[in-house]
Structure 1
């Protein structure tokens, strides 16, 4: 089954946008660090994190900036 993020080799998405390296805001760095800490502490695995992120409905997935997808996945995984 293909998920919203599984677009490898598909046509029609246009050129890739130029993105800067690093974080655009503090909250992005914080969600990155929180995710790393949760994985390191065994709260959830990286595979669980990726699976939850991949299950975001396609319309929502494509409307979200990159780290908002991370935030959504972490919110769904934390007890």
Structure 2
């Protein structure tokens, strides 16, 4: 089964940025990144569980969300359950 993020070989998503490391446009994005790292380090869930949770976001919602909103949605799903 293909998920919304499975776009291997597809075109039209723009160029990848050349910068290295995480890029944050807002403070909440950095906070989401750090919270995810903290929950993984504490053993609340694994990175695989986090990725799989993000992949289960319905495609229409997934593509409408900015990058770190997907992270926040997955984080909320994992720690809210």
Question: Does the alignment reach a TM-score above 0.5?
Answer: yes
Spell out structure 1 runs of 4+ moving beyond 2 A: 13-21
Counterpart of 1:35? 36
CA-based RMSD = 1.8
Counterpart of 1:73? 74
1:8-63 Cα shifts (integer Å, max 9, x gaps): 1023x253375876211100000000000000000000000000000000000000
Counterpart of 1:52? 53
Q: TM-score, normalised by structure 2?
A: 0.86
Give distance in 2, aligned partners of 1:67 and 1:19. 18
Residue 2 to residue 31, structure 1, CA distance change in 2 (3 Å): same
Counterpart of 2:65? 64
Residue 7 to residue 41, structure 1, CA distance change in 2 (3 Å): same
Give distance in 1, aligned partners of 2:51 and 2:77. 12
Q: Which moved more, 1:47-56 or 1:21-30?
A: 21-30
Residue 18 to residue 72, structure 1, CA distance change in 2 (3 Å): same
Structure 2: gaps (5+ residues): none
Counterpart of 2:2? 2
